[in-house]
């Protein structure tokens, strides 16, 4: 599905950005992240096929950003969970040491 075409303001004039499956590709170059397509738009280097297609790519970019945010959140939860386990094990070791000192 054709997404956009590079215009005359760039050396890639005439190259197409297409959606194949769930990914975007620049003709003859390779894959591109949806958010990066908007960087080309901000530079005035692409012409969208339609506003509907632009909205589709915007939705893809938002979905990817939400997945990245969720992944970052999951990693943060995992590391804080690991930290709680380490602290708990440290406290247990201290308590065992006190018990041995007191009763031993």
Q: Are strands 23-26 and 30-32 parallel, antiparallel or unpaired?
A: antiparallel
Q: Please give the Cα distance from 86 to 50 (Å, whole number).
A: 54
Q: Find out whether 19 and 1 touch, Cβ atoms under 8 Å.
A: yes
In percent, the amount of the chain with pLDDT more than 70 equals 79
> Which comes out higher in pLDDT, residue 29 or 70?
29
Alpha helices for 3-50 (secondary structure H): 34-42
Q: Please give the Cα distance from 91 to 99 (Å, whole number).
A: 12
Model confidence at 91, in pLDDT bands (50, 70, 90)? confident
pLDDT, one tens digit per residue, over 51-89 is 999 999 998 887 765 555 555 555 655 566 666 777 777
How many structural domains does the chain have?
1
């Amino acid at each position: 599905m054709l997404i956009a075409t590079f215009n005359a303001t760039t050396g890639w004039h005439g190259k197409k950005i297409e959606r194949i499956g769930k990914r975007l590709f620049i003709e003859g170059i390779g894959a591109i992240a949806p958010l990066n397509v908007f960087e080309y738009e901000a530079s005035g280097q692409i012409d969208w096929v339609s506003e509907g297609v632009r909205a589709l790519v915007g939705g893809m970019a938002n979905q990817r950003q939400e997945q990245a945010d969720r992944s970052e959140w999951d990693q943060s939860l995992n590391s804080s969970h690991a930290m709680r386990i380490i602290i708990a094990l440290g406290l247990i070791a201290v308590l065992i040491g006190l018990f041995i000192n007191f009763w031993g």
